[in-house]
């Protein structure tokens, strides 16, 4: 049963309640390896579901366009203060609705349409909003894109430097959505300084690892840091922008009134709760365990002949190229899902296949670590993944794996399910 219980919803709208219960059960029974997902605490769920959703509060604390902010102002101030302390930054804006709006605020703050932005190409591991062609950021700005070296699968900083010197971008993005290795923030900062660009570090994937000391921090290197709050940071769906003092005002103006109306105050409260949780010593242990689990899973997959981009991982994320296994990423992800193992198909660098039918799957260990799985479970996970990929057309074999998976996960509690 969903926890907190949902008796009012069940009475008022049994159809929606049934779907919520079904999703809670699904999350409980599966091994969730989608690298951008996690399980929030029951406290975060309660804050998200609170009456704060009823309130409008355009503006910032002490400077709102609506009355009745006696409670909302301290909520937002608390979230801001916790973000500043946790990450050690001068300024935090906790209002962006999610990661893409947070990144758009960087464009609005520091670029005019047609100006040059540089980011990591989507197929190399970047994000749509780092200037990829189909995104507004690639259509309305002059975007130049860097990638990874073919031999190593890791970002080619010489290429980044050469491109930056030639193209003189006003903003450089580092970070992305499918980067299994440590991001070298000091090296990016050196390049950005040389060409006079603002360095924006998008740490959406690794924010929890940074907060927990399991990945180097971009603070002191990137003037602007964007992040979602719901991946390794384990908060509600939302985002933040962290800046130094110099870039604070431009970012605040870009978020509101530049891009957004009223902030989602129930989300702001839940972000504050998650930031409080991430300040506890136990969160540092969690962040390190996420990385240990990813390393152990990568090693077990390599033992089973999987080809991993960059040869492994330094963080929570693994990108497997399934070409050698004779299956595309999409049929593999569908087979894994039927086998109770949730992942997403993903392009790999230099992928000869199309983005909607690419060669890879992306795996992450943030959610299973929250459930309590350890390095000792990773060989078993790799065995199930291998079996599922081999038996992709055999529904009975996949269902047998799903039953084994559900059996294991039944022993590991899930916040949100009782």
Q: Which of residues 66-105 bind ligand DSN (CB under 6 A)?
A: 99
Query: Which one from 58, 115, 244, 307 is the annotated catalytic residue?
Result: 58
In the complex, the smallest distance separating the C-beta of residue 36 from ligand DSN, rounded to whole angstroms, is: 3
Query: Which one from 228, 268, 347, 369 is the annotated catalytic residue?
Result: 228
The reply on whether position 347 binds ligand DSN by CB under 6 A is: no
Query: Which one from 64, 237, 253, 304 is the annotated catalytic residue?
Result: 237
User: Is 158 tagged catalytic?
Assistant: no
In the complex, the smallest distance separating the C-beta of residue 406 from ligand DSN, rounded to whole angstroms, is: 24
How many separate helices (H) and strands (E) can be counted in the chain?
16, 15
The reply on whether position 177 binds ligand DSN by CB under 6 A is: yes
User: Is 228 tagged catalytic?
Assistant: yes
In the complex, the smallest distance separating the C-beta of residue 24 from ligand DSN, rounded to whole angstroms, is: 21
User: Is 56 tagged catalytic?
Assistant: yes
In the complex, the smallest distance separating the C-beta of residue 177 from ligand DSN, rounded to whole angstroms, is: 4
128 appears as a binding residue in the annotation: yes
User: Is 58 tagged catalytic?
Assistant: yes
C-alpha to C-alpha distance for 298 and 312, rounded to whole angstroms: 6
Name, in order, each residue with C-beta under 8 angstroms of 386's C-beta and a sequence gap of 6 or more: 301, 304, 305, 306
User: Is 244 tagged catalytic?
Assistant: no
Give the pairing of strands 198-202 and 239-243: unpaired
Cβ(59)–Cβ(39) below 8 Å: no
Which lies closer to ligand DSN via its Cβ, residue 36 or residue 268?
Answer: 36
The reply on whether position 145 binds ligand DSN by CB under 6 A is: no
Count of chain residues binding ligand DSN (CB under 6 A): 4
User: Is 37 tagged catalytic?
Assistant: no
Give CA separation, 358 vs 39, 150, 326, 328, 402, in Å. 27, 17, 12, 6, 24
Name, in order, each residue with C-beta under 8 angstroms of 289's C-beta and a sequence gap of 6 or more: 369, 374
When computed from its CA atoms, the radius of gyration of the chain, rounded to whole angstroms, is 21
The reply on whether position 36 binds ligand DSN by CB under 6 A is: yes
242 appears as a binding residue in the annotation: no
122 appears as a binding residue in the annotation: yes
Nearest to 100 by CA among 227, 242, 197: 227
C-alpha to C-alpha distance for 289 and 284, rounded to whole angstroms: 9
**Strand-pair partners of 303:** none
45 appears as a binding residue in the annotation: no
Q: Which of residues 106-135 bind ligand DSN (CB under 6 A)?
A: 127
Give CA separation, 58 vs 5, 55, 109, 273, in Å. 32, 10, 19, 22
Query: What residues act catalytically?
Result: 56, 58, 202, 228, 231, 237
Q: Rule CB under 6 A: which residues touch ligand DSN?
A: 36, 99, 127, 177
Mark the binding-site residues, compressed into ranges: 122, 126-128
Mark the binding-site residues for (6S)-5,6,7,8-tetrahydrofolate, compressed into ranges: 122, 126-128
């Amino acid at each position: 049963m969903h926890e907190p219980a949902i008796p009012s919803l069940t009475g008022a709208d049994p159809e929606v309640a049934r779907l919520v219960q079904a999703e809670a059960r699904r999350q409980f029974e599966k091994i969730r390896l989608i690298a951008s997902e996690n399980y929030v605490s029951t406290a975060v769920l309660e804050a998200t579901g609170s009456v704060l959703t009823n309130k409008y509060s355009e503006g910032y604390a002490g400077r709102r366009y609506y009355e009745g902010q006696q409670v909302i102002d301290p909520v937002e101030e608390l979230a801001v203060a916790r973000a500043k302390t946790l990450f050690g930054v001068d300024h935090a804006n906790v209002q962006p609705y999610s990661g893409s709006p947070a990144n758009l605020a960087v464009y609005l703050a520091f670029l005019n349409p047609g100006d040059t932005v540089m980011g990591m190409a989507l197929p190399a591991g970047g994000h749509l909003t780092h200037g990829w062609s189909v995104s507004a950021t690639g259509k309305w700005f002059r975007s130049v894109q860097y990638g990874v070296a073919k031999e190593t699968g890791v970002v080619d900083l010489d290429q980044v430097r050469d491109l930056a010197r030639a193209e003189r971008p006003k903003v450089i993005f580092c970070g992305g959505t499918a980067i299994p290795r440590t991001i070298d923030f000091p090296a990016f900062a050196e390049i950005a300084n040389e060409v006079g660009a603002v360095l924006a570090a998008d740490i959406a994937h690794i924010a929890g690892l940074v907060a927990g000391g399991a990945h180097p921090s971009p603070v002191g290197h990137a003037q602007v840091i964007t992040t979602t709050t719901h991946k390794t940071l384990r908060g509600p769906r939302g985002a933040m922008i962290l800046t130094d003092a110099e870039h604070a005002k431009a970012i605040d103006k870009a978020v509101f009134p530049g891009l957004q109306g009223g902030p989602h105050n129930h989300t702001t409260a839940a972000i504050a709760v998650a930031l409080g949780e991430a300040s506890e010593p136990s969160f540092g242990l969690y962040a390190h365990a996420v990385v240990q689990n990813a390393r152990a899973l990568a090693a077990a997959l390599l033992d089973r002949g999987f080809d991993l981009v960059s040869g492994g991982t330094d963080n929570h994320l693994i990108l497997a190229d399934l070409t050698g296994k004779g299956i595309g990423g999409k049929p593999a992800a569908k087979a894994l899902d039927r086998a109770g193992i949730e992942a997403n198909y993903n392009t790999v660098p230099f992928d000869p296949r199309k983005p909607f039918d690419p060669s890879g799957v992306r795996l992450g260990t943030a959610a299973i670590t929250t459930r309590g799985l350890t390095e000792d479970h990773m060989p078993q996970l790799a065995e199930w993944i291998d079996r599922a990929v081999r038996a992709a057309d055999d529904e009975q074999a996949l269902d047998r794996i799903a039953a084994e998976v559900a059996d294991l996960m039944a022993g590991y509690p899930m916040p949100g399910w009782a």
